[in-house]
Amino acid sequence: MATEILMPALSPTMEEGTLAKWLVKEGDTVSSGDILAEIETDKATMEFEAVDEGIVGKLLIAEGTEGVKVNTPIAVLVEEGEDASSIETSSGGDTAPAPAAEEAPAAPVEAAPASAPATPKAKAVEPDWPEGTEMKTQTVREALRDAMAEEMRNDPNVFVMGEEVAEYQGAYKVTQGLLDEFGSKRVIDTPITEHGFAGIGVGAAFGGLKPIVEFMTFNFAMQAIDQIINSAAKTLYMSGGQMGAPMVFRGPNGAAARVGAQHSQDYAAWYAMVPGLKVAMPYSAADAKGLLKSAIRDPNPVIFLENEILYGRSFEVPVMDDFTVPFGKAKIWREGTDVTIVSFGIGMTYALEAADKLAEDGISAEVIDLRTLRPIDYGTVIESVKKTNRCVTVEEGWPVGSIGNHLSAYIMQNAFDWLDAPVINCTGKDVPMPYAANLEKHALITTAEVIDAVRQVTYR
């Protein structure tokens, strides 16, 4: 009986990949453990092994095909004597049928992940780049790498340290290529000792360098939080201004996909509480680049909260010699009149999707991306609320002591008379992140919840 071999998911967030190379050909006999193909994910090139025994009846996807969705049949194994040509392949999972090998595009295709929303057109009141600037499509991951590379070229005292940042090219490939360009003096693999290397990073900043400390994820930064708060954030104050820690702590933050409670936490509100730290949490690739460049130049310790799911998403990024985004300046992604939706980071995905759907029903939402959480651009929020008279906040973190809570209080104190409804905070649920797919989905904020909240505050 024929067995379909499906495109495997090789990382928690992988949605598609490139079939880089077949290591078997039709007619070959394979047994369990034989390497069938090399598959390139957004993070790495992986070898893909056979699980079943059989004869390679048919290769369904040609070498070099990009954007092959997970669960797409890529080959068929047959038993001795079976005829491969008679096999009808099913379509893979919930994705579109994969192109047959002979139909595979000759040239690589740039494809955004299926679940990513169409790149929304930004309508910043004050645009971050001059009109007419040439743009290019880039993933958040590439934008972050470019930001580091540019700043490392500019300042010899900027260096990157962290787990797997150098020879492995980054656990999430964010530092890819940096070792080649800057060498092992400036791109430094550390042992898995967050507390220790965060402290060494802070000490190096005291000593005159500009470290970029990468945490493989911010979940692991809890091991280092004493050095981040007590040493990095407070020393300038405690020394009466004599010395501080000009440095960046960066890495993915928040839920990835199906990695459970210890690896799925949003620290936005934690760090945003701390005077002495600056906190950035970009959504788009342009903001990731512009804010990270600003963060590296900043004379203070900066917490830079990235997101694993956003890493692979593509956005338009301006082609400029030196593009930066200032801290403390929100971006209005979509202008509207009926309600203000305030979000940041991956929360913007839900905010923008909700705004699209609400528009279909004639509800006009203004969507604000805070971009930085310390400092926060209160002015843009208040101005918008005075126009729309209603506000919904959206974030992935827990509800108690959330950024939304803080904004609600701020709006109440500063724009009470303009409010026509209580502010609603859409947040992650007040539970540790469950593993089961259905529970995880339920624990996270959803677009439907945002829409529901908007309907409540607009009474529609």
The residue ranges that bind other proteins (CB under 8 A) are 157, 159, 185, 190-191, 193, 195-209, 226-227, 230-231, 235-244, 246, 275-276, 278, 298-300, 327-328, 374-376, 378-379, 382-383, 406, 410, 414-415
Which residue number, 58 or 374, has a Cβ lying nearer to other proteins? 374
Shortest spacing between CB 186 and other proteins, in angstroms: 8
Which residue number, 109 or 192, has a Cβ lying nearer to other proteins? 192
Residue among 96, 61, 60, 71 at smallest CA distance from 10? 71
Shortest spacing between CB 20 and other proteins, in angstroms: 34
Nearby residues of 276 by Cβ (< 8 Å), 6 or more positions away: 232, 233, 234, 236, 237, 300, 301
Alpha helix stretches (DSSP H) within 210-336: 225-226, 235-238, 268-272, 285-297, 308-311
Catalytic residue among 15, 151, 194, 214: 194
Alpha helix stretches (DSSP H) within 275-415: 285-297, 308-311, 347-360, 378-388, 403-415
Residue among 158, 174, 168, 156 at smallest CA distance from 192? 168
Shortest spacing between CB 184 and other proteins, in angstroms: 11
| Tokens, residue 424 | 């609603």
CA–CA separation, 163 vs 253, rounded Å?
16
Which residue number, 33 or 208, has a Cβ lying nearer to other proteins? 208
| Tokens, residue 336 | 């509207």
Shortest spacing between CB 312 and other proteins, in angstroms: 32
Q: 408-417, long-range: CB within 8 Å, 24+ apart, which pairs?
A: 410/378, 410/381, 410/382, 411/381, 411/382, 411/385, 414/378, 414/382, 415/382, 415/385, 415/386
Which residue number, 278 or 334, has a Cβ lying nearer to other proteins? 278
Using the 8-state DSSP alphabet, how is residue 104 labeled?
S
SS3 state of residue 69: strand
Shortest spacing between CB 375 and other proteins, in angstroms: 5
CA–CA separation, 73 vs 78, rounded Å?
14
Neighbours of 46 (CB within 10 A): 17
Which residue number, 120 or 301, has a Cβ lying nearer to other proteins? 301
Shortest spacing between CB 173 and other proteins, in angstroms: 24
21 φψ region: left (φ > 0), alpha (ψ -120 to 50), beta (else)? beta
Shortest spacing between CB 229 and other proteins, in angstroms: 10
Q: Is 263 a catalytic residue?
A: yes
Which residue number, 314 or 384, has a Cβ lying nearer to other proteins? 384
Which residue number, 105 or 299, has a Cβ lying nearer to other proteins? 299
Q: Is 66 a catalytic residue?
A: no
Shortest spacing between CB 231 and other proteins, in angstroms: 6
Nearby residues of 158 by Cβ (< 8 Å), 6 or more positions away: 148, 151, 152, 186, 209, 210, 211, 212, 296
CA quadruple 137, 143, 145, 148: dihedral positive or negative? positive
Shortest spacing between CB 369 and other proteins, in angstroms: 18
Number of Cα atoms under 13 Å in the Cβ half of residue 309: 18
CA–CA separation, 370 vs 395, rounded Å?
11
Catalytic residue among 4, 150, 263, 306: 263
Residue among 143, 373, 400, 138 at smallest CA distance from 273? 373
Which residue number, 321 or 417, has a Cβ lying nearer to other proteins? 417
Which residue number, 329 or 357, has a Cβ lying nearer to other proteins? 329
The β-bridge relationship of strands 45-49 and 35-40 is: antiparallel
Nearby residues of 232 by Cβ (< 8 Å), 6 or more positions away: 202, 205, 245, 247, 249, 276, 277, 301
Catalytic residue set = 194, 263
